[in-house]
Structure 1
């Protein structure tokens, strides 16, 4: 069991970065979802409507990269702006066809459910079977689930769902505590990056797995993680 991918999303609900290594603190992957798009009502830009979030089509056309002062946001036409640049706010608003600002996290965390989200290659293979795509899971891009960590595991199934309550050591320093399953929304079927739009993933999870895929974890011990690090039970 080892880390296959590390992903960070410097601005919530925009496309993010694939990393070779990352620092982990009590909040999660450092810089992950630290900024968000906010509308005049104070709701955060998302792919869904809830009490906290507002669906803003077009967010997946934008990409964010971590930077020292504020993330850099890349528009579909290739222009880039720091997330704290008012001119960038206006440009993002033009893409989204609404008035928005980009703001760092305040008293309420930007994460949907918890600090670090995890999925496994075993679960991707099982979902491939459930959608009729075959057992290898290669037809399902892991970026659809916007997880921080993809853990490489043999076989197929949903083994991560047995993890809550245990302590997972990731590499030589970091210890995570899986908390509970992640309930999935329509975002997993939306086109994002090089992953085309689908209409079967959420349906398959609803029919066979209570809409759940992956787990989130809290951070028990901070440190540095690297792709290829071994994961074991602490």
Structure 2
């Protein structure tokens, strides 16, 4: 049963992360605007193969070494050690538009051109293209966990991911939160409390309100060092021991915004407006 909950005011937003290019390195922000499909500028770019199927660091680990910096008018500056920087303007209306596949969704995206494709190809050692999602209203999340008018950009499944410092500490092992690629990191909660959240507000009355719609099953990407892209067995091995449900390992909770246009800021109070009784594990 969902119930309201008076959350301690010491629970705060400690970090905000944005990932301009899917699977490339993220960067930390002090504040961000919330759009219906995620944080402004989050995962609007993506790497695909020549046929338009999405590619991530699961298949191409060296994508993690690409450092995208947002530029003017939705453009990017791409950087990686050993490669020259490349400025990539957001493709205009006259750019080649392609149908691209991300999981079960097909969306129309604009190709960023041959120079951008060549830069990313040199980074990852494969024939790839870089595309930009000009229209982020195309793609609905899984209807089993979302409303018909919800939307998501090029994130795996949902607009935002929240994690908590307490859960990372409970996991042990000294893992970096960067392995889990959250958008929002919360401090001051109990470990695994995010499993039970259903409605969360960041920033007090008038702040950003989110529905917590589904837990996040974790994949091989978390086993890649975010600085070197080298692989291993952790933290999935530890997660499997502590957080294995329905054949998957879980860390973090997916969010859908209900107040687009709101701004979240580092240090904002985080309140859980509705939650369920603890103990059931993540929504799945």
Equivalent in the alignment of 1:126: 170
Partner secondary structure for residue 72 of structure 2 = coil
Alpha-carbon distance in 1 for matches of 2:21, 2:71? 11
Conserved 8 A contact 1:75-1:92: no
Shift of 1:195: 8.5
Once residues 14 and 132 of structure 2 are traced to their aligned partners in structure 1, the CA distance between those partners, rounded to angstroms, is: 29
Q: Check if 1:80 corresponds to 2:85.
A: yes
Indicate if the aligned counterparts of 1:39 and 1:101 stay in contact, CA closer than 8 A: yes
Per the alignment, residue 178 of structure 1 pairs with 212
1:73 and 1:127 map into 2 onto residues whose CA distance is 33
1:11–1:71 contact (8 Å) kept in structure 2: no
2: CA distance, partners of 1:32 / 1:122: 25
Aligned equivalent of 1:217: 255
Unaligned stretches of 5+ residues in structure 1: 49-54, 134-138
Alpha carbons 1:7, 1:148 under 8 Å: kept: yes
Distance 1:194 1:90, change over 3 A: closer
Larger Rg computed on CA atoms: 2
CA contact (8 A) 2:164 2:187 kept: yes
- Decide whether the 8 Å contact of 2:164 with 2:189 is kept in 1: no
1:162, distance to aligned residue in structure 2 (A): 0.4
Please, which of 93, 109, 117 is the counterpart of residue 161 of structure 2?
117
Partner of 2:53: 43
1:23 equivalent to 2:33? Answer yes
Q: Residue 71 of structure 2 aligns with which residue? A: 67
State the SS of the aligned residue for 1:167.
Answer: strand
SS in 2 for 1:11: coil
Aligned-partner Cα distance in 2 for 1:126–1:230: 22
**Per-residue CA shift, 1:192-217, capped at 9, x if unaligned?**
12797542210111222120000001
Q: Deviations over 1:48-97 (max 9, x none)?
A: 3xxxxxx1131011111122332221122252223435323212111211
* Structure-2 change in CA distance of 1:77 and 1:46 (3 Å): same
Corresponding residue for residue 265 of structure 2: 226
- Give, in angstroms, the shift of residue 167 of structure 1: 1.6
Aligned to 2:121: 93
Aligned-residue Cα RMSD (Å) equals 1.8
